[in-house]
Structure 1
Amino acid sequence: MTDRLSARLLLAGYAQGIFPMAESRENPELHWFDPARRGIVPLENFHISRSLAKNIRRGNYSISIDRDFRGVVEGCADRDETWINGPLFDLYDELHAAGFAHSLEVWQDGALAGGIFGITLGGAFFGESMFSRRTDASKTALAYLVDRLRQGGFSLFDTQYITPHLARMGAIEIPRLEYRARLAQALHERGDFAAPETPDPQSLLQRMAQTS
């Protein structure tokens, strides 16, 4: 455990397949985790339900990248229990400024409705957390994120753990050794999070239908 984790050490940990979390927002200490089974989203097997597709097709939202990184992290931490503490807020801000941490935002009626953020290394995206203030906002963010990772040349979308919510959209668990093999390959690739253009709703759904 530590409360003095540097941004460089955090990235080194991700490259080795481990990640930090706090016990609570009030506890300044961070603990490294290395689960026996790791959650990932296979980028070519992402599932969009009919109801989500209907909401995406409406297009009553806008998508941005890195427009409000801190706002997304704060949204993810705004719950009764969170593993995002003060030291992690500072580390994420530092990694964002250095180009290693990114956010995808969903806006409705001029307000931040939901989003997701994570860390990038090579061709790996380490999803940290997502949140939603409007119906399907986090699911919409996830759909646009998967499309961006595909178009940007990423091969690994790590979710650390999986939830029923993620499993319904295609997330799976793989053994630690398989995860580390995929990670090693992804670290030798070059993903570009900023390069892809954000598609319109119909183009997004068409691309998803072609690869799912």
Structure 2
Amino acid sequence: MYFLTDELLFPPVDNANVEGLLAVGGDLSPERLLLAYQSGIFPWFDTDSLILWWSPDPRMVLYPDQIKISKSMRKVIRNNQFRLTKNTCFKKVLEHCSSVPREGQDGTWITDEMKTAYMKLHERGIAKSYEVWEGNTLVGGLYGVDLGHIFCGESMFSLTSNASKFAFIKLAQELQAKEYKVIDCQLHTDHLESMGAQEISRKEFIQLLN
């Protein structure tokens, strides 16, 4: 196991164990976080744990032009049920992502320390949020780290059916228009797979990053 020091570096991602765990410790400074994402690494840990840094193999990604939009979602979009904004309430999106209950999970990995770190990235224009509104009520959204050619998705939430799907679809469509390479989804879920995401090797992902 590689233990990070104050020095701003990570070990090669090939050093990660079979589960994808690469390193322990360090800090969540904007500089270290940005270096992590640029290197194919992300933090993920519990409240009572040391900071854990991951680079899984395989990696779950979505090519923006491969987003799958179901018939029911096409109807939702046509009916203008939702309205989308960007970066108007990043902190609220963070709070909802950390507090909305998730099946099979106790608590949250979005700790107060993580919130502070991503707020600092947001203030630098690197972390961004997509917000979904029904009328004047915030009902869904997502946030992630924008590297300019890859969007590293971190978390999303829904307070009403289909709201996070709407945010994800709109994100993919916008990034396709901007010719982004992929949306990094990090780890496999059936939900992401149903929307067109797929697993690629870590080597392929690093090549896309570079």
Match of 2:98 among 56, 77, 86: 77
Spell out structure 1 runs of 4+ moving beyond 6 A: none
Which residue of the partner structure matches residue 55 of structure 1? 76
Secondary structure, counterpart of 1:131 in structure 2: strand
User: How do 1:128-207 residues align onto structure 2 when only pairs under 5 Å count?
Assistant: 128-184=154-210
Secondary structure, counterpart of 1:35 in structure 2: coil
2:40 matches 1:17: yes
Q: CA deviation at 1:136?
A: 0.3
Which residue of the partner structure matches residue 67 of structure 1? 88
1:16-51 Cα offsets, whole Å, 9 max, x none, are 11100122xx32632100101101001111100001
Mark the runs of 5 or more structure 1 residues left unpaired by the alignment.
185-212
What is the identity percentage for the equivalent residue pairs of Structure 1 and Structure 2?
Answer: 37
AA matched with 1:27: D
Q: CA deviation at 1:81?
A: 2.6
TM-score normalised by the chain length of structure 1 = 0.82
Q: CA deviation at 1:3?
A: 6.2
Which residue of the partner structure matches residue 138 of structure 2? 112
Secondary structure, counterpart of 1:17 in structure 2: coil
AA matched with 1:18: I
Secondary structure, counterpart of 2:64 in structure 1: coil
TM-score normalised by the chain length of structure 2 = 0.83
AA matched with 1:32: W
Does structure 2 conserve the Cα–Cα contact (< 8 Å) formed by 1:156 and 1:183?
A: no
Aligned counterparts of 1:4 and 1:180: Cα–Cα separation in 2: 23
Aligned counterparts of 2:97 and 2:29: Cα–Cα separation in 1: 22
Does structure 2 conserve the Cα–Cα contact (< 8 Å) formed by 1:28 and 1:85?
A: no
2:55 matches 1:31: no
Which residue of the partner structure matches residue 114 of structure 2? 88
Aligned counterparts of 1:160 and 1:129: Cα–Cα separation in 2: 10
AA matched with 1:116: L
Superposition CA RMSD, Å: 1.3
